[in-house]
Structure 1
Amino acid sequence: MLCSTCRLRPPVTDDGRCPLCAGPAGAAAPMPPAPAFFAPQQYLRSPEGLAKAVVVLLAVMIVADLLAVAAGLNTHRVLAAGVANDFATYDEEAATFADNLYGAASSFQTFVGLAIAVVFIIWFRRVRLNAEVFDPSMQSMRPGWAVGAWFIPIANWVLPRRIAGGIWTASAQTNTDGSWRTVPATVMNLWWGAWVCSQILSQYTARRYWAAEQPQEILDTTFLLVATDAIDIAAAVLAILFVRKLTRMQRERAALGVYPLSTPGLAERASWGRAH
């Protein structure tokens, strides 16, 4: 038997409503043992293994970015020495080595970045599906958008953060007294801001790099490449913190049961979300 109002959760009140739909009035009603799912074919699946893989790949990306920063600074040094004396004593061998070194570092970054994109999106979809079990009323977009939102130009600077916010809220651990605990989203916001800045600066720098013709323009663009790699390092560090935090939140939330506990105003917000 399911709730007479939402048809999603088991009833706990005499009139057949679940704790979420009953609101404060149903807070004193006994909670039934929480099964591993609340609707057919909707199960909690641990994101721990995927999270570890994402963290490892992000750590490798940090190493790749550090190598790119070192290679970029070396290229900048060689070019700056040539520009300083109008290339009168320009070291062609050192320039070739610097160019090859930076090319290798860039290829390493690209390879690791592709691996991160695949594994991170799989992890992101997993935690989104878990959030659907925890509390679907907190999700403003359907689960498929956890994958598709990343592939829409410009919109992918906004939509994944919106989805992540719903996952974060639904995964927040409830307090032991049955009240809802709001977990500050600082690490998620910092990660997202750093990632968007990295993407925007990367695209801007790529256009400047391919358009540069004069030695000074190339020199300035090289400095921008180094700055982009530095911001990417910050984004990767914050991404590690975000992935670890959200995965831990879901583990704690699952240990308390999959059903949202009753808290003042939550049932009204859930009903309004379904109605609109």
Structure 2
Amino acid sequence: MTEQKSTPTAPTLRPVRGAARCAIVALVLAGVTWVARAVWHIRLAVTGEPASGPPDQGGGVHRPLNALEDSYHLVASVGGGVTAVCAIVFLFWLDRVRDNAKALSGAAPRYSHPWLWLGWIVPVVNLWIPRGLVADVHRSVFPERRLPAVVNWWWGLWLAGLAGGVGLIYADDTDEVIARAYQGVLPLLAADLVIVAAAGAAALMVHMLTTAQQEHIAGQDY
């Protein structure tokens, strides 16, 4: 009998370049919307609080908004919508590169699939699981290489943007943020700057990890 040699089956890989481009565009747009918020924070601070006081008068009473305050509500709403879309597109990209990393390495991910979504919202573990998900994409394919510094920069800036309820997740409603801009704008501007930097670092990270994974795939002889 003739002995037949089995040929290794090529792993099933998902296309990621399109998802990466969409994620980068979404991150850039999110950064632009946060630059716009910073501009409106400055405009509110320079204009100063009206004689009638802050929009939220206390006791459930809100005075009518002036034109600048009304436009800030619009900017904040658009920014919130863009940020939400950006998060979805980013997770869509992460899901794809994570699946490819699993197929290429043959190893099960450290975190199961539900953590791709829950890892961002479950308290305490959201301080490290999202970074771990991204780090595993790189390490599963390039275990001998150091994690790119941009991953740590992105995660540090992300956490800084969340700190104190002045960044991505405001503890106050929009009218209360307007009042804070009138009373002391510097903390708001600092948070805006951190979030814009985090979006830029995330876009660079998406590009670097996608490129590295694609080069690894191109270099394999399946």
Please, what TM-score do these two structures have when normalized by structure 1?
A: 0.64
In the TM superposition, residue 194 of structure 1 has moved relative to its aligned partner by 0.5
Structure 2 residue aligned with 1:51, among 20, 23, 32?
20
> Is residue 227 from structure 1 mapped to residue 190 from structure 2 by the alignment?
yes
Name which of structure 1's ranges 43-52 and 220-229 shifts more when overlaid on structure 2. 220-229
Distance 2:105 2:82 in 1: 34
Name which of structure 1's ranges 149-158 and 135-144 shifts more when overlaid on structure 2. 135-144
Q: Which runs of 5+ in 2 are unaligned?
A: 53-64
SS in 1 for 2:212: helix
Structure 1 residue aligned with 2:81, among 102, 107, 111?
111
In the TM superposition, residue 199 of structure 1 has moved relative to its aligned partner by 1.6
Aligned to 1:36: 10
Structure 1 residue aligned with 2:215, among 246, 252, 255?
252
Aligned to 2:171: 207
Q: Residues 70, 34 of structure 1: CA spacing in aligned structure 2 closer, same or farther, 3 A cutoff? A: farther
Aligned AA (1:67) = A
Distance 1:256 1:96 in 2: 60
Larger relative contact order, structure 1 or 2 (CA cutoff 8 Å, min sep 6): 2
Aligned to 2:91: 121
Q: Which runs of 5+ in 1 are unaligned?
A: 1-11, 13-31, 38-42, 89-94, 173-179, 260-276
> Is residue 66 from structure 1 mapped to residue 31 from structure 2 by the alignment?
no
Aligned to 2:61: none
Are the aligned partners of 2:116 and 2:133 in contact in 1 as well (CA < 8 Å)?
A: yes
Distance 1:249 1:258 in 2: 16
Aligned AA (1:50) = A
Are the aligned partners of 2:23 and 2:90 in contact in 1 as well (CA < 8 Å)?
A: yes
Kindly report the root-mean-square deviation, in angstroms, between the aligned alpha carbons of the 2 structures.
3.1
Q: Residues 226, 256 of structure 1: CA spacing in aligned structure 2 closer, same or farther, 3 A cutoff? A: same
Q: Mark the structure with the bigger radius of gyration.
A: 1
Q: Residues 199, 182 of structure 1: CA spacing in aligned structure 2 closer, same or farther, 3 A cutoff? A: same
Q: How many residues align?
A: 204
Sequence identity of aligned pairs in percent? 23
